[in-house]
Structure 1
């Protein structure tokens, strides 16, 4: 048995040696072929890449930056155009009914055919957050689209005005040769330009002729701008802080004489609601004083109390049978109120407020 085992081992070694020799011959052939091809390339000066292919798949830093810039500009134009055009759309009665019906069904979480305060507050809160998130995104793309001549990281009134007119359908000849009074333009369009000029003046802090990207946010979406909210806080403190100690007491916060009272509230009811807000919403640390930080959190549109207050106001306005909930019929009966509310159009509602 040992002789046969030795014979088998000998043949196994022989086979392995033959396999190894075969692999070596293959690698030598491939190396020789590579050297031969490179010699031909070098001798005849054959290019090793296609200029067309290279330009399409260029991975250099400049090329990547250029493609990124083109993509951003394309997206910016699309978003900015949509933002301008949305302001011109007016809904008919049938469309309002359809939108309110669909929204009602979505907000009615338990599907009982009624919307209570909790359901409506939750829905409005989600719409507010959605709008504020989209406003930040839209601001970046619109700023990029408007900042064209020159592209310097700041937007001038001239740049914005040209972009505005272009997206209202005016041709280049009118845009570059029109007079300041915009002769022939509709009254609504002139009023829109005047509103923009007023908002521009409020947003421009460093230079009245140009806006940074943060100032542009305050110009187009003041409800999303921290600077605007902080400015409102400062104004509120200076108006209500009678003793000038930098904080607000319950009496200062709820004083009807120092606040603008909504038409649907009496002075007594207004003061009652403000005291309730002071104790349960604004005064977070329960020290009977409201500091600037607490006031900032209170005024911030993201604070849930705004959604709750909007929901409560809508229910009080439309709840005709006084059962504390809304039916679809009640909503449709007051469709103008709801269409312009944060339940449907948070953007328009915010811009009317700010």
Structure 2
């Protein structure tokens, strides 16, 4: 059986932590940084390109001339202006940035949808998902690394039921998206927190202590001293994560850690783009203002704008 759907799902969504890599792992899914580039406009606009287009789309920038970039950017501006008043507001820009960042999610859902809607009735039932994802591997021995397929299936079923908002035992496209990417949906946040705690809470006491917190991110493996970032994480745990200072994180403290709500990266970037492009300082952008600053938004490189323009159902 092809295990790719399972492996992809595990890698992207389940927050599995049976292995402990040497580098820091990031469990924060809500409003993660829009790019791994440094945001320094004096050096280049690569961060802004990633934020405006999404990192995967921005990677394809390599062939367009400035004229072609401006023409296609103008077409994108018309899609951003959702109320068709001839201006792009800060909120419209924020929504576009969020859309660009989630484009990879839509692609992942589409791929998995076709793999799991076995009878093509526009729904995915739990049985369809279970059979397509696990199938005969449930009767095989678990891998030596301790991975438990039946335990994973049980967690998937619990998550599937939470995503099934109308309780009809089958998932439409929206519910299936919530199942695969729960961190993107408010009503799924509890399951993200629960699964994270289950992964890290090795002693099963319902809390995450300092050793479990660090152990999930880092394994010393014979090193004589910890990296500086590990020492910083210890301080973060003591000073900020453990709010009630009882030496461990409870459910609410874990939620604040992995699902922070105090900073909206998309909103901050939208305000930045508007500030840098709003020539007449009226608090909104015209197509001309955006195109005039095309290097800030897209640069003079190639992108798959054509594909974005035909996706009428995405935005």
For the criterion TM > 0.5, the same-fold answer is no
Q: Which has the larger radius of gyration?
A: 1
The higher-RCO structure (CA 8 Å, 6+ apart) is 2
Q: Which has the higher helix share?
A: 1
TM-score calculated relative to the size of structure 1: 0.30
